[in-house]
Chains A and B, each alone.
Chain A
């Protein structure tokens, strides 16, 4: 079974600076999807960014980008120019492409604090 590990329970960063959240995963599959979700204090889960393992190019969405290292099974999230609204829990998640096994597997989460 796939597992996802986020080794940083908490992180903090000064406003306008850059922060990187770590995520590693374990799988024997060659193609799959990886996601980062944000959960602000409202607790609504919001999709931040996605990456298909088949694609070597790292995904980017505005101030959010990933560093996908397939061989190392690492999928870190970089947030540039941090804003107060970025404060939230961030979850890394894995999704298989195998029919019938496509449920999302989540890491434990990283709580990100933005210091003004």
Chain B
């Protein structure tokens, strides 16, 4: 079945460590996105990529980094510069220049700083 796989489902990070969240899709979608979800704030865009080897900052990119070396993969690294990384992270993809189709989402990763 086609879809988006995020791993791990739960992730614990110590202060000062970098961690990488995985996002893989087999939908042949061009565009991929990372959102952060906090209680009462909806989903906020961290980074997005519309084609391989290209990505743009979203609204809250500070303390995060991404890469898009393959169409299927869009990993997100949460660096030690991110002051409040505890949150739920959602990865999504879309067909690209077809805005009417919305997004397909992964099941999310819950990151907790310990």
Residue pair A104, B102 in contact (C-beta under 8 Å)? yes
Residue pair A103, B102 in contact (C-beta under 8 Å)? no
Q: Which residue, of B35, B97, B102, B105, has the highest number of chain A Cβ atoms within 10 A?
A: B102
Q: Which residues of B contact A9 (CB under 8 A)?
A: 40
Q: How far is the CB of A106 from chain B (nearest CB, A)?
A: 4
Q: Which residues of B contact A108 (CB under 8 A)?
A: 40-42
Q: Which residue, of B31, B43, B50, has the highest number of chain A Cβ atoms within 10 A?
A: B43
Interface of B: prevailing SS: strand
0/1 interface trace, chain A 59-99, chain B, CB 8 Å (1 if under): 00000000000000000000000000000000101011101
Residue pair A95, B40 in contact (C-beta under 8 Å)? no
- Tally of B interface residues using CB under 8 Å: 24
Q: Which residues of B contact A30 (CB under 8 A)?
A: none
Q: Which residues of B contact A97 (CB under 8 A)?
A: 99
Q: How far is the CA of A50 from the CA of B48 in the complex (A)?
A: 22
Q: How far is the CB of A51 from chain B (nearest CB, A)?
A: 10
Residue pair A35, B43 in contact (C-beta under 8 Å)? no
Residue pair A45, B99 in contact (C-beta under 8 Å)? no
Q: Which residues of B contact A93 (CB under 8 A)?
A: 102
Q: How far is the CA of A6 from the CA of B50 in the complex (A)?
A: 28
Within 8 A of B (CB), among A6-46: 6, 9, 32-33, 35, 37, 42-45
Q: How far is the CA of A47 from the CA of B35 in the complex (A)?
A: 16
In-complex Cβ contact of A43 among B42, B88, B97 (8 A): B88
